Amino acid sequence: MVNIADLFQLFGEIVGADVHKLVPASHKLDSYPMLAYLTNPKQPSIRQTNFTQIASNFHVGTPPPCVIPLTNPATCVQMFYTKQVCNLEGGKWFGADPDEGTVSYTSCCDVQRNVAEYQNGLAQQPINQQAVRNDKYKIVQKKVQVCGSTPSGDEQKVLDEFYEINERIPVPQIDKEGTALCGENGTACPTNLTNQQKTAYNQLLASLNDTMNSEVPCRGDGNLDKVVNFDDVLNWYYFSTNGVVPEGGGKPNTSSWYDMDLDGKTNFADLAIIAKNLDKHCTPKSGSN
């Protein structure tokens, strides 16, 4: 069981460097030895758990709905800003200048409510999700959009799904839709689990929460050195005045690490956030580096 973060430690092992000693304690590392797997084919798993996380990019405003009919049911996403990109992905565009036979809508839930062919079901990608596994079980935690009968009934929910997995060769058992031990079809975890499964579920959930809470928020720290200082002011100035001019011309795009309020622009509103947090030191939570 390895993680892409273990490559960082592997490179250190190759040159004889202990990355956990070299990296400041303010920066948490989720990396484990990897060289042993390359030198000993029978090396047992060094990791006890493995974590992964995914989420959408930040957007300036919310992209219009695009329905991709290649899945069953069709999947609606809000990640493309142009009709051309939606169509290139095989999708049907419900934004400005909608595809023939469609109407513009502002959300995937609006499409599901108003387009007859999707009223019996329209899949949506999770807003974000993270997962942690051990050798036998896996928790997948998702934030999903749940559509109501009216826009006021739309809401976001966090759902946990729990799976039994393995690394059997040549066909491993993975977390396929419809195979969850709990968390699918309205069955909340840890309902219907055996005592052994419930123990594993609680351990993995605690591990996931520990990982999610291990990084201390540091508002105003754009260069990620865990302190808000004049370096952040200088960096803000650079990014706010050196935007990228769009292809074909137009106002420079100043989205950057220093876009503190995530509005797609690095401007004086972001400088105000840095100024409010000047001299703030972000102390890491207890635990090994």
3-state helix, strand, coil in the chain (%, to 5): 25, 15, 55
Give every strand in the sheet of 75-77, ordered side by side: 92-93, 66-68, 75-77, 123-124
Confidence of residue 263 (pLDDT cuts 50, 70, 90): confident
State whether 236 and 277 are in the same domain: yes
State whether 231 and 197 are in the same domain: no
State whether 191 and 226 are in the same domain: no
State whether 120 and 191 are in the same domain: no
Cα–Cα distance measured from residue 267 to residue 258, given in angstroms and rounded to the nearest whole number = 9
- Decide if 96 is inside a domain: yes
pLDDT higher than threshold 60 for residue 118: yes
State whether 120 and 76 are in the same domain: yes
3 state DSSP class of 54: strand
- Decide if 54 is inside a domain: no
User: Total domain count for the chain?
Assistant: 4
Confidence of residue 288 (pLDDT cuts 50, 70, 90): very low
- Decide if 117 is inside a domain: yes
Q: Among candidates 144, 124, 109, 127, which has minimal Cα distance to 56? A: 127
CB of 140 within 8 A of CB of 132? no
Which amino acid does the sequence have at 1? M
Cα–Cα distance measured from residue 215 to residue 224, given in angstroms and rounded to the nearest whole number = 11
- Decide if 53 is inside a domain: no
Instruction: Give the residue carrying structure tokens 């060094």.
Output: 46
Q: Where is pLDDT greater, at 60 or 227?
A: 227
Confidence of residue 285 (pLDDT cuts 50, 70, 90): low
Cα–Cα distance measured from residue 108 to residue 121, given in angstroms and rounded to the nearest whole number = 11
Cα–Cα distance measured from residue 243 to residue 235, given in angstroms and rounded to the nearest whole number = 13
- Decide if 188 is inside a domain: yes
pLDDT given at position 26: 81
- Decide if 114 is inside a domain: yes
Helices 268-276 + 230-241 axis angle, to 10: 170
pLDDT higher than threshold 90 for residue 185: no
Q: Among candidates 276, 285, 270, which has minimal Cα distance to 222? A: 270
pLDDT given at position 248: 80
Phi-psi region of 20 (alpha: psi -120 to 50; beta: other; left: phi over 0): alpha
Tokens at residue 106, please? 């502002």
State whether 134 and 196 are in the same domain: yes
State whether 113 and 135 are in the same domain: no
State whether 289 and 224 are in the same domain: yes
CB of 208 within 8 A of CB of 141? yes
Q: Where is pLDDT greater, at 250 or 170?
A: 170
**Domain C-terminal end among 215, 247, 262:** 215
- Decide if 59 is inside a domain: no
pLDDT higher than threshold 60 for residue 156: yes
- Decide if 56 is inside a domain: no
pLDDT higher than threshold 90 for residue 249: no
Mean pLDDT of 151-175: 95
3 state DSSP class of 212: helix
In the chain, what is the straight-line distance between the N-terminal and C-terminal CA atoms, in Å?
Answer: 20
Contacts of 7 (CB under 8 A, 6+ apart): 31, 34
**Domain C-terminal end among 175, 190, 215:** 215
pLDDT given at position 286: 55
State whether 204 and 229 are in the same domain: no
CB of 228 within 8 A of CB of 218? yes
- Total-model pTM: 0.84
**Domain C-terminal end among 184, 215, 246:** 215
DSSP 281: B
State whether 179 and 240 are in the same domain: no
pLDDT given at position 246: 80
pLDDT higher than threshold 60 for residue 224: yes
32-77 pLDDT, tens digit each: 999 999 999 999 999 999 999 998 877 777 899 999 998 889 999 9
CB of 258 within 8 A of CB of 232? yes
State whether 82 and 112 are in the same domain: yes
Domain that holds residue 236: 216-289
89-102 pLDDT, tens digit each: 999 999 999 998 88
pLDDT given at position 116: 92
pLDDT higher than threshold 90 for residue 250: no
Q: Which residues pair with 235 in a beta bridge?
A: none
77-86 pLDDT, tens digit each: 999 989 999 9
CB of 278 within 8 A of CB of 269? no
State whether 37 and 86 are in the same domain: no
